[in-house]
Chains A and B, each alone.
Chain A
Amino acid sequence: MAAALEPINTNPTYADIDRGVHRIMDPPGLMFWAWIAFCAALVGIAAALWTRQIYVGLGVSGLRQPNMWAVYITNFVFWVGIAHSGTLISAILYLFRTRWRTAVYRLAETMTLFAVLTAGLFPLVHLGRVWNAYWLLPYPNERYLQPNFRSPLVWDAFAVSTYLTISATFLLMGLIPDVANARDAAKGWRRTFYAILSFGWRGTDEQWRHFQMMYLLLAGLATPLVISVHSVVSWDFAMAQLPGWHSTIFAPYFVAGAILSGVAMVLTLLIPMRRLLNLEELITPWHLDNLAKVVLLTSLIVSYSYITETFITWYSQDQYEVVTFHARYFGHYGPLFWLMVWGNCVFPLVLFSPRIRRSTVPLFIVTIFVNIGMWLERFVIIAGSLATNFNPSQWGIFHPSITEIMITVGSFAWFLMLFSLFARYLPIISMTELKEGIRWLRQSLRDDYYPSIK
């Protein structure tokens, strides 16, 4: 196995870790700014199309009866799902003291924050009268009208905004010791910038004592939060009577899918970044291997959910459910469904091979298919179920408009732009935690991945 891996330093020191992370934060070159400009241009196009949609009306989006939810809500659920692995890796694996998380959790947390920011835009984009969005909030108004707290959409507003606030807090708090490290190594305006963000951290025993308790409790609070947020998102559908949506397995099914898509997205971002920024010494085969195992595990859970969902439909013999599922597998959206099955269930099975889990190119290709598969899963559930509701006279097929397509592309550009800027100006790898677990990193590399090096 060792022969297939690129040679790396299996005995890194604290100084090696600092050097590796500081190098990422070196002033970026022209190619980086060209990339940012490209992303900004796509965001600009999306913003222009949204402005037009607000001015002209939702008709330009392609949304019409019976498909009043389609690409925008698919994007919302997709991005909320992407956000989930950040909290999984940073909070849940922290509580379990999982040793390999240290090199990748900051990247996953950053991805979480920007994915929730992106997701939060879509309910607004989807609103016909976006200027009334504040009606979701319980504020004192002259008619004493308050939101209906029995509505899943109001639960969603609370869950997603709480998730955004807590994941931003978790990220910013965790950054403090690393930003202090960057402050001490930086000069000029960067030193001032990092000094502000580090809040005067000096790493005294008292600061660490309170920091560790705060971080543990934030992780403890974020763990049930992450489970609740995607459960609430799933209830947006499951609480409705619509065939294809009204199912009790939606909450665990959506949470497993969210973790699958999120961890796949971590790998999709990590693998090119590792190559472009020469991070092979910090993000090692040990980390890739373990992330790939999480993808494999959650892919199996998602596959099981698909089978269970089909079984429930068959066993119930509910005629509306049977028709909806038949249409899902063999109807207009059938090819998308089978592409989804390929991406989420079949192709990830190659990850049973340790050689593939540790090889960057095959792993990258698998994660791209999972990303596509998970987006399609949400689309098939949302648009496919609405297309064949209770009354055949209301059936209708949805086709996305150019407005929806470009706003979707713009959302990816917006996410990648924010993520890229963060990665080049703030520590995208946690130096303090990587140093804390350096003993395990060395041991694992030598024992499991590079046994020939002693």
Chain B
Amino acid sequence: MSAEIELVGTFADEEGCVHGVEVLKRAGIAYRVFAPIPSEHLLHAIGRGLSPVRAIVLIGAITGVLTGVAITVGTSWEWNLIVGGKPVVSWPPFIIIMFELMILFGGLSAALSFFFFARMPQLDPIAGYSERFSADRFGIAVECDEADSARIEAMMREAGAEEIAHEDPRTVPVAH
């Protein structure tokens, strides 16, 4: 079913937006939230669970350690000479290289996986977005049929939306 109308409710504060999310969630209506701040309350109310970024970071960090093992132990074996009475494979100093590469690979994995999961760079406009949502307002966008719009609008108003805009979702490509 393709949506006929996009309702965009604007909320003045975090509490109102959290309330709006809870109302829509209870009614089983799909929605998208826009927020100018990283809000723990909002993410908790939406309840989509923890981001998979963490798994990618773990894989990246392990890859970093293994890369550290490969370049330190590997190159030492390649030029297999005892220098200064130290073992060819001297673990204590090599651990420093492994540690640094663990952080490097883990950190870069965090950034790259964030871009992947957040679908960025996002060059197309997102339906329902308003410039106020990066400044001082919170937004909830709902795609629905014309027939449902009055009911959903009433729910958002009751939750505390200060204004509700009607947009045509076909005028802007919907990102996700």
A interface residue numbers (CB < 8 A to B): 13-15, 18, 138, 144-151, 154-155, 158-159, 162, 165-166, 169-170, 173, 177, 180-181, 183-185, 199-215, 217-218, 221-222, 224-225, 228, 232, 432-433, 435-436
Contact of A15 among B100, B114, B122, B136 (CB under 8 A): B136
Q: Are B43 and A208 in contact (CB under 8 A)?
A: yes
Provide the B34-56 mask, 1 if CB < 8 A to any CB of A, else 0: 11111100110010101101100
Within the complex, what minimum Cβ distance (angstroms) separates B136 from chain A? 4
Distance between Cα atoms of A205 and B57 in the complex (Å): 21
Closest Cβ neighbor of B92 among chain A residues: A150
> Number of contacts between A and B (CB, 8 Å)?
187
Q: Are B134 and A181 in contact (CB under 8 A)?
A: yes
Q: Which chain B positions have C-beta within 8 A of A13?
A: 136
Distance between Cα atoms of A193 and B172 in the complex (Å): 23
Of B68-76, B142-150, B162-170, the one contacting chain A is B68-76
Q: Which residues 99-116 of B have a CB within 8 angstroms of A?
A: 99-101, 103-104, 106-108, 110-111, 113-115
- 16 A-B pairs besides A158-B96, A199-B121, A432-B37 with CB distance below 8 A are A14-B36, A162-B103, A180-B134, A181-B36, A181-B134, A199-B115, A203-B133, A205-B48, A208-B35, A209-B46, A209-B48, A209-B51, A217-B53, A218-B107, A222-B103, A225-B103
Q: Are B129 and A202 in contact (CB under 8 A)?
A: yes
Contact of B72 among A149, A205, A432 (CB under 8 A): A149
For the complex, is B97 an interface residue (Cβ under 8 Å from A)? yes
* A214/B53 contact (C-beta < 8 A), A155-B93, A162-B103 known: yes
Q: Are B38 and A208 in contact (CB under 8 A)?
A: yes
Q: Which chain B positions have C-beta within 8 A of A159?
A: 96, 100
Within the complex, what minimum Cβ distance (angstroms) separates A248 from chain B? 14
Chain B interface residue count, Cβ-Cβ cutoff 8 angstroms = 61
Q: Which chain B positions have C-beta within 8 A of A177?
A: 36, 38, 134
For the complex, is B126 an interface residue (Cβ under 8 Å from A)? yes
Distance between Cα atoms of A212 and B61 in the complex (Å): 19
Contact of B32 among A148, A205, A211, A213 (CB under 8 A): A205
Distance between Cα atoms of A87 and B46 in the complex (Å): 31
Closest Cβ neighbor of B122 among chain A residues: A200
Q: Which chain A positions have C-beta within 8 A of B75?
A: 138, 146-147, 149
Q: Are A221 and B133 in contact (CB under 8 A)?
A: no
21 contacts between A and B (CB under 8 A): A15-B135, A138-B75, A149-B75, A154-B97, A170-B107, A173-B114, A181-B36, A184-B134, A199-B121, A200-B121, A200-B123, A201-B120, A203-B36, A207-B120, A209-B43, A210-B114, A210-B118, A224-B99, A224-B103, A432-B38, A435-B37
Q: Are A228 and B36 in contact (CB under 8 A)?
A: no
Closest Cβ neighbor of B79 among chain A residues: A144
Q: Are A211 and B114 in contact (CB under 8 A)?
A: yes
Q: Which chain B positions have C-beta within 8 A of A148?
A: 83
Q: Are A213 and B107 in contact (CB under 8 A)?
A: no
Q: Are B78 and A221 in contact (CB under 8 A)?
A: no
Q: Are A218 and B111 in contact (CB under 8 A)?
A: yes
Q: Which chain B positions have C-beta within 8 A of A18?
A: 135-136
Q: Are A203 and B96 in contact (CB under 8 A)?
A: no
Closest Cβ neighbor of A15 among chain B residues: B136
Contact of B100 among A14, A162, A180, A433 (CB under 8 A): A162
Q: Which chain A positions have C-beta within 8 A of B106?
A: 217, 221
Q: Are B117 and A210 in contact (CB under 8 A)?
A: yes
Q: Which chain B positions have C-beta within 8 A of A145?
A: 79
Q: Which chain A positions have C-beta within 8 A of B114?
A: 173, 210-211, 213-214
Within the complex, what minimum Cβ distance (angstroms) separates B103 from chain A? 5
Distance between Cα atoms of A436 and B104 in the complex (Å): 29
Q: Which chain A positions have C-beta within 8 A of B97?
A: 149, 154-155, 158
Task: With a 10 A CB-CB cut-off, give which of A159, A204, A206 has the most chain B CB atoms.
Answer: A204
Q: Which chain A positions have C-beta within 8 A of B103?
A: 162, 166, 221-222, 224-225, 228
Q: Which chain B positions have C-beta within 8 A of A155?
A: 93, 96-97, 100
Contact of B54 among A173, A180, A217 (CB under 8 A): A217
Contact of A228 among B43, B46, B86, B100 (CB under 8 A): B100
Closest Cβ neighbor of A18 among chain B residues: B135
Q: Which chain A positions have C-beta within 8 A of B26?
A: none
Distance between Cα atoms of A210 and B119 in the complex (Å): 10
Q: Are B101 and A158 in contact (CB under 8 A)?
A: yes
Q: Are B53 and A204 in contact (CB under 8 A)?
A: no
Q: Are A214 and B36 in contact (CB under 8 A)?
A: no
Within the complex, what minimum Cβ distance (angstroms) separates B116 from chain A? 9
Distance between Cα atoms of A218 and B121 in the complex (Å): 20
Q: Which chain B positions have C-beta within 8 A of A173?
A: 111, 114
* A212/B120 contact (C-beta < 8 A), A138-B75, A149-B97, A217-B54 known: no
Within the complex, what minimum Cβ distance (angstroms) separates A437 from chain B? 9
Distance between Cα atoms of A185 and B134 in the complex (Å): 9
Provide the B133-161 mask, 1 if CB < 8 A to any CB of A, else 0: 11110000000000000000000000000
Q: Which chain B positions have C-beta within 8 A of A165?
A: 104, 107-108
Q: Are A138 and B71 in contact (CB under 8 A)?
A: yes
Q: Are A436 and B107 in contact (CB under 8 A)?
A: no
